[in-house]
């Protein structure tokens, strides 16, 4: 076992006379990738090849725009060492706060953040590479960090730029239900919108954004044109994000195919008037131009365990019992029919 050593951490400070934060110095010390280097782009972490790009009628660029992942294999010292070596000796700023139950943050180049909770080591070491971090690090560094630290993704955003459609076109066809998707109609929708699948439209002086699906689900998408071109982003979470990240980061040569294929698994825009079976409907012209001949890519999720009486008993005793006790304290009437028994009786009615 190699001896433990203190991670390379520096408190937040400024350079004498320069007024620049410490990480600005670290950024200058780090050699920035050349603009034409593989995995570097101003629009996110992408990897394209001449052959792949030549196969596209449009100039699609695809890449990772957000990556959140956790490792249960390495402790914080080894994680910081690995990142410092991967990023050529990056320093870390310590912040005594965190997110999602983590209580300490280590921030380094390009706003790459590492989180821990020393009192709950079972939470592991969590990493968040936001849009800026993905854009600056590039695909190759994200691949090394994710695979090298044996991480499991909790969120993955895949971005596709230069799409041959506008947010307004997607909104129109979505509302007309010319889609093949698992997204459900909106709850509590106002009159006239009861059958419209969950969506949201935002417009601002900088551009338009159309959201598809629910942000609380494990698959969600948005399309916007705020940068002068149309970007389609697919946001995946939980197990769906991890299976997709393993596929995307293990097979760089299939980045375009897998990204477009996962978008197709979330939604296809079709002419629903052709057939009641959406799988037999032809694609709308703008969508056909976008997807080309790429097939749908479905990540295989772990099947839900079969519900048995024993599992139901464990769930009631572990999850429901405390709520029932509180219910009895608040609403129980000892002089009449027991309220918990009444709840059970109501549950037995057909």
Residue 333 in this model has a pLDDT that exceeds 70: no
pLDDT for 324 equals 76
Residue 328 in this model has a pLDDT that exceeds 60: yes
The CA angle 198-199-200, to the nearest 5 degrees, is 145
All residues at 6 or more sequence positions from 11 whose CB lies less than 8 Å from its CB, including other chains: 93, 94
Instruction: Give the C-alpha separation, 256 to 258, whole Å.
Output: 6
pLDDT for 12 equals 40
Pick the closest to residue 255 from 44, 70, 82 (CA basis). Answer: 44
Which of 45-54, 103-112, 182-191, 267-276 has the lowest average pLDDT? 45-54
Of all residues in the chain, what percent carry a pLDDT higher than 70? 75
Residue 182 in this model has a pLDDT that exceeds 80: yes
| Neighbour tally for 311: CB within 10 Å | 11
Q: 142-179 burial by CB neighbour count: b if 16+ within 10 A, else e?
A: bbbbbeebebbbbbbbbbbbbbbbbbebbbebbeeebb
Mean per-residue pLDDT for 6-29?
A: 36
pLDDT for 97 equals 95
All residues at 6 or more sequence positions from 5 whose CB lies less than 8 Å from its CB, including other chains: 77
Interval 122-174: pLDDT, tens? 999 999 999 999 999 999 999 999 999 999 999 999 999 999 999 999 999 99
Return phi, psi of residue 261, to 5°: -65, -35
Interval 254-266: pLDDT, tens? 999 999 999 999 9
Instruction: Give the C-alpha separation, 222 to 263, whole Å.
Output: 11
pLDDT for 186 equals 83
Q: What secondary structure letter does DSSP report for 300?
A: -
Return phi, psi of residue 157, to 5°: -110, 125
Interval 223-265: pLDDT, tens? 999 878 999 999 999 999 999 999 999 999 999 999 999 999 9
Q: What secondary structure letter does DSSP report for 274?
A: S
More confident: 24 or 349? 349
pTM for the model? 0.73
Q: Burial, 84: exposed, middle or buried (Cβ in 10 Å; 0-12, 13-18, 19+)?
A: middle
pLDDT for 311 equals 72
Q: What Å distances lie between residue 132 and 114, 138, 319, CA to CA?
A: 15, 10, 40
8 A C-beta contact, residue 139 and residue 46: yes
Interval 271-300: pLDDT, tens? 999 999 999 999 999 999 999 878 888 766
| Neighbour tally for 49: CB within 10 Å | 13
Look at the alpha carbons of 36, 40, 43, 46 in this order and tell me if their dihedral is positive or negative. positive
Interval 198-220: pLDDT, tens? 999 999 999 999 999 999 999 99
pLDDT for 348 equals 64
Q: What is the mean pLDDT of the chain?
A: 81
pLDDT band at residue 104 under the 50/70/90 scheme:
very high
pLDDT band at residue 20 under the 50/70/90 scheme:
very low
Question: Alpha helix (H) ranges present in the chain?
Answer: 22-29, 50-54, 76-86, 131-148, 167-175, 238-250, 255-266, 285-291, 309-315, 321-331, 339-347
pLDDT for 301 equals 56
pLDDT band at residue 53 under the 50/70/90 scheme:
very low
pLDDT for 304 equals 59
């Amino acid at each position: 076992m190699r001896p433990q050593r203190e991670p390379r951490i520096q408190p937040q400070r400024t350079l004498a006379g320069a007024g620049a934060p410490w990480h600005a110095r670290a950024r200058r010390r780090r050699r920035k990738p050349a603009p034409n280097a593989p995995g570097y782009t101003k629009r996110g972490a992408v990897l394209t090849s001449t052959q792949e790009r030549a196969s596209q009628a449009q100039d699609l660029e695809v890449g990772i725009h957000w990556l959140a992942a956790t490792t249960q294999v390495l402790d914080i010292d080894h994680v910081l060492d690995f990142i410092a070596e991967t990023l050529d000796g990056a320093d870390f700023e310590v912040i005594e706060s965190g997110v999602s139950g983590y209580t300490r943050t280590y921030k380094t180049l390009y706003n790459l953040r590492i989180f821990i909770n020393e009192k709950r080591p079972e939470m592991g070491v969590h990493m968040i590479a936001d849009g800026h971090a993905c854009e600056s690090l590039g695909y190759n560094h994200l691949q090394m960090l994710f695979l090298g630290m044996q991480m499991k993704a909790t969120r993955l955003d895949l971005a596709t730029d230069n799409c041959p459609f506008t947010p307004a076109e997607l909104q129109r066809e979505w509302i007309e239900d010319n889609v093949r998707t698992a997204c459900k109609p909106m709850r509590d929708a106002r009159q006239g919108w009861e059958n419209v699948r969950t969506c949201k439209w935002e417009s601002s002086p900088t551009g338009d954004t159309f959201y598809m699906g629910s942000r609380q689900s494990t698959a969600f998408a948005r399309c916007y044109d705020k940068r002068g071109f149309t970007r389609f982003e697919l946001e995946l979470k939980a197990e769906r994000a991890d299976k997709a990240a393993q596929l995307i980061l293990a097979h760089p040569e299939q980045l375009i195919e897998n990204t477009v294929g996962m978008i197709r698994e979330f939604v296809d825009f079709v002419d629903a008037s052709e057939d009641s079976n959406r799988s037999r409907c032809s694609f709308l012209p703008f969508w056909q131009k976008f997807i080309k001949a790429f097939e749908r890519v479905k990540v295989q999720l772990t099947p839900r365990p079969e519900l048995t009486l024993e599992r139901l008993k464990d769930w009631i005793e572990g999850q429901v019992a405390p709520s029932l006790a509180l219910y009895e304290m608040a609403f129980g009437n000892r002089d009449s029919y027991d309220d918990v028994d009444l709840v059970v009786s109501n549950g037995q009615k057909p």
